[in-house]
Structure 1
């Protein structure tokens, strides 16, 4: 069990830099660690955490995914495989031998990479409307991610997303959020105001490749713990077939489709996602008890 106080916001010093996190709730068993999507803040999980923390330790982290407030070291490797190692270091520093990982969007990629490289650290896995296989980055974002090293491009993206009309549109958060996409503008503030955050985001973008998700997928058949795959019926980035393939790649994979949601399911349908995660955690607990 973690040595840190319940419901406290703290910082961890890691090889990548200072990481902010919050721990809510208590209970036996592995902690539930959440990984949000690109340009989403950890508060996207707040309604889900509120529903789960009565029985589980929930850890949200200000991961360096572009909406983070604490920039990483200038020399830090922020490619997805390196970020998977950052997750493991955070688990180590929190004193968590294993965790249930819950990843949405590009956070789901990091969860997959942790599972592939360190399956013993992942007690169960929830992949929520995320990149997988050859779809990383998805669609038009592939070109944007490749061009992120062009001087001024990430700054221009941040400036555009700071405009309310653009933030609400399909060129902005409207591509991933069905309900009130304009509310996500708060997550752009660090990117728009801090050069070091833009530097970090560019590293993640240029370091992303489908070769990483394809390599991870080759290990999934050997992961024999519970896996919940949650897909959104209104997803504009990830087709339904991708969710079916992802669930089918795991021996214990199960697919659930959430209605009335875009890619950012924890924002659009937090109550339904909470129900599904509670079921996953109950199955994981029963599996542990049976051992």
Structure 2
């Protein structure tokens, strides 16, 4: 059963205790964040959409979480997709809209490719796709640092306390134009707790081990016959805009929207525009709040 802890709810899953935020009422949206990020990626989008939708944002064990998972938890992309499906089942969500940005979008692809019945429609928001895993220079550097022992990984991450270093392309510089305050928060758990560093390193090593994971699921992804919004940053330097176009062609019921003046983390850089695009998409798919479920 879900329980509540400092404003976030908690739920016991096979990997361990997962915290999540659950705001608003109406058709359910589950929003997934990326590696070394937490639910605050979606805070401004949730502030808008929760007026009409139930917005659920799990704190996935991707290195900015605050509750360590079990030592044997599978933190590969497949494992994280299984964890997400378990989360949907534990909350008994049906006809849910599953959205993911950055690594969160890779997890969404793995969930869709699995044929998960609880997902009625989905949104892929500037994310890892095809052979771009780990994505771009940013992802490759971070995955490389994951080869370090957790203590040395922690020392590497200590440098990210300096804004000038956080803004480098190898860090968060090419991921967000305006979200530096959020990225400064996201590094705190990994700096402060050895168990979180251990989880982060395990997650990054799993990513490094299976670089073909998204290419391998392309065929199953193409079989997902429910509506998908592909929202991509026009200026994305980590997730090629061409991949957004390819995903929109691959998925039978996809529509592509390109968003200006944003890097990868559209929910941080253009939350109002993304919320508007999401509302339009949900209205078209019968999830508008005049109809809904």
Shift in Å, 1:154: 2.2
Unaligned 5+ runs, structure 2: none
Which runs of structure 2 are paired with 1:271-290 in the superposition (5 Å)?
A: 271-285=272-286
Gap runs ≥5 in structure 1: none
Per-residue CA deviation, residues 98-147 of structure 1 (Å, 9 max, x unaligned), is 42111000010001101111331211110010001111112333354155
- Deviation for aligned residue 1:24: 0.8
Q: CA deviation at 1:210?
A: 3.2
CA contact (8 A) 2:2 2:12 kept: no
Q: What secondary structure is seen at the aligned counterpart in 2 of 1:175?
A: coil
Which residue pairs with 1:217 in the alignment? 218
Say whether the 8 Å CA contact 2:3–2:11 is kept in structure 1. no
- Against the structure 1 CA distance between its residues 119 and 15, is the aligned structure 2 distance closer, same or farther, given a 3 Å change threshold? closer
Contact 2:113-2:223 at 8 Å conserved across structures: no
User: Shift of residue 252 of structure 1?
Assistant: 0.9
TM-score w.r.t. the length of structure 1 is 0.91
**Aligned pair partner of 1:32 in 29, 51, 54:** 29
- Rounded Cα–Cα distance in structure 2 between residues aligned with 1:102 and 1:215: 21
**1:88 positional shift:** 1.0
Q: Secondary structure at the match of 2:187?
A: helix
- Name the structure 1 match of 2:61: 64
In the aligned structure 2, how far is the partner of 1:132 from the partner of 1:116?
13
CA RMSD across the alignment:
2.4
Deviates more, 1:245-254 or 1:159-168: 159-168
In 1, Cα distance between the equivalents of 2:240 and 2:116? Answer: 27
> Does the aligned pair in 2 maintain the 1:191–1:198 contact within 8 Å?
yes
Give the distance between the partners of 2:158 and 2:190, measured in 1 at CA: 9
- Matched residues in 2 for 1:60 and 1:224: separation? 24
The aligned length equals: 286
Q: TM-score, normalised by structure 2?
A: 0.90
Residue aligning to 1:123: 120
The offset of 1:239, in angstroms, is: 1.4
Give yes or no for contact 1:68–1:190 (8 Å, CA) kept in 2.
yes
1:185 Cα deviation (Å)? Answer: 0.7
**Whole-angstrom CA distance in 2 between matches of 1:290 and 1:166:** 45
